[in-house]
């Protein structure tokens, strides 16, 4: 078994940073009216700027795949490898550009690379750690000697008014809060890393100690959903409506989030963390930096309360976040966090970095321990 190191870090953010007051210029106004919910959502998530792959007229300037490819190129550039050394590519995203084929095929096509092995991972935020774990395992067993992993999101295209105005009876019906919440939370971007079985000769590397992913879908209904709508108690899938147009009218194409259900998932995420503390996988006093993906500041505060009760709080000054400037970029989040961490924080050899990527989609949590090498 080989040790596995992250030897390259890349990020790609489309366009200029977009401030809170300009969001609807890019996304558009539903029914021509400014959103009632925008201030409430922003007050909770405390995001100040984010990026959109749309221009000011709402026209796409990139694709999900092209952003992933740009982040991969940046990651390879920052490593001691050339792109052609890479033989394994894993991608993570919430929604690709097309329903099929998989995003990894599209990203591979965007890169100037010959035939390689690929894997497409689709979930929400934690798909990033699924993809990373697959690459980690590939390097660890010696199947590949250089792998790249991307996380990328193009969420804003689904937040254009046309995605909401068909829903319900009237063309100008205000979308529900569950839909508006995500509209002002998620944004676009991509991050990537490069993995090898040995550390860089000249640059900083991060050794992967372990990646631990746990699904709690056995006990929760979906909290985030796109491609289905509740018909009473029954979840009806978009393909079962007879036509895409009738699915849209039923609201089955909107991306929605049940906030109360998401909050009820906090204890199981914390319990996963606490279990690893009990098992000795996480030693609180040994952690020097925490990269925790969270969708809003208010959730972070609640998480800290629970951790304090369990005697498992890592001091807040060790937490690193770029949520307020880069926005919530879902599956790209952990990669853009790491890219910024190694760039802006002075890291010392031997320091430990704990990464946490919860996913509210249907209650999933991922934890990862890294060591500066």
Partner 1 sequence: MNGTATSRAAQSVMRRLLMVWVDFETSLDTAPLIDKLRRGKFRLDDYRTLLLNHRQQVIEGSRWIARAASSITNEFAAQRSVFLQHALTEHRDYTMLEADFVSVGGDLSHMLSFEKNVGTEALHAFMFQRATEPNPFDLLGAMFIIEGVGNKKAAVWGRLIAEQLALDERQVSFLLYHGENDAGHLAGFEETLGSGILELPGMADRIVKTSAVVARLYRLQLEELTPA
Q: Give 21 or 278: the residue with its C-beta nearer to partner 1.
A: 278
Residue ranges that bind partner 1, judged by CB under 8 A: 216, 219-220, 233, 267-268, 270-271, 274-275, 277-278, 309-312
| Residue found under tokens 């079985």 | 197
Count of CB atoms within 10 A of residue 34's CB? 11
Tokens of 196: 């090898």
CA 295 to chain centroid: 10
CB of 60 to partner 1, least distance (A): 41
CB of 310 to partner 1, least distance (A): 5
Measured distance CA(345)–CA(342) in Å, rounded: 6
CB of 213 to partner 1, least distance (A): 17
Count of CB atoms within 10 A of residue 93's CB? 33
Q: Give 218 or 348: the residue with its C-beta nearer to partner 1.
A: 218
Q: Give 278 or 286: the residue with its C-beta nearer to partner 1.
A: 278
> Exposure pattern of 109-139 as b/e (b: 16+ CB <10 Å)?
ebbebeebebbbbbbbbbbbbbbbbbbbebb
Q: Give 277 or 347: the residue with its C-beta nearer to partner 1.
A: 277
Count of CB atoms within 10 A of residue 316's CB? 10
Q: Give 96 or 361: the residue with its C-beta nearer to partner 1.
A: 361
CB of 19 to partner 1, least distance (A): 39
Helix (H, G, I), strand (E, B) or coil at 213: strand
CB of 259 to partner 1, least distance (A): 16
């Amino acid at each position: 078994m080989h040790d596995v190191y992250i030897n390259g870090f890349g990020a790609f953010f489309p366009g200029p940073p977009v401030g809170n007051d300009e969001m609807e210029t890019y996304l558009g106004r539903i029914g021509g009216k400014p959103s009632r919910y925008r201030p409430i959502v922003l007050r909770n998530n405390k995001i100040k700027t984010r990026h959109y792959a749309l221009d000011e007229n709402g026209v796409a300037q990139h694709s999900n795949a092209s952003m992933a490819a740009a982040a991969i190129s940046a990651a390879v550039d920052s490593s001691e490898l050339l792109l052609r050394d890479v033989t394994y590519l894993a991608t993570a995203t919430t929604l690709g550009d097309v329903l099929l084929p998989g995003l990894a095929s599209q990203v591979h096509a965007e890169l100037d690379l010959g035939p390689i092995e690929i894997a497409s991972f689709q979930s929400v935020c934690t798909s990033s750690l699924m993809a990373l774990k697959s690459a980690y395992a590939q390097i660890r067993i010696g199947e590949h000697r250089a792998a790249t992993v991307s996380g990328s999101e193009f969420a804003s295209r689904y937040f254009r008014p046309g995605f909401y105005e068909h829903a319900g009876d009237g063309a100008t019906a205000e979308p529900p809060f569950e839909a508006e919440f995500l509209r002002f939370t998620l944004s676009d971007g991509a991050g990537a890393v490069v993995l090898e079985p040995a550390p860089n000769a000249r640059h900083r590397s991060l050794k992967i100690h372990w990646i631990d992913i746990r699904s709690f879908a056995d006990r929760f209904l979906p909290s985030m959903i796109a491609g289905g709508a509740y018909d009473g108690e029954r979840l009806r899938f978009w393909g079962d409506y007879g036509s895409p147009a009738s699915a849209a009218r039923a609201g089955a194409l909107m991306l929605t989030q049940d906030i109360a259900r998401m909050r009820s998932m906090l204890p199981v995420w914390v319990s996963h963390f606490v279990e690893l503390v009990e098992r000795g996988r996480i030693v609180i006093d040994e952690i020097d930096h925490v990269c925790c993906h969270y969708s809003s500041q208010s959730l972070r505060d609640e998480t800290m309360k629970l951790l304090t009760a369990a005697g498992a709080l890592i001091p807040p000054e060790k937490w690193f976040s770029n949520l307020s400037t880069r926005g919530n970029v879902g599956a790209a989040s952990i990669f853009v966090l790491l890219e910024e961490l190694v760039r802006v924080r002075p890291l010392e050899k031997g320091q430990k970095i704990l990464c946490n990527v919860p996913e509210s989609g249907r209650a999933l949590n991922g934890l990862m321990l890294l060591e500066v090498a």
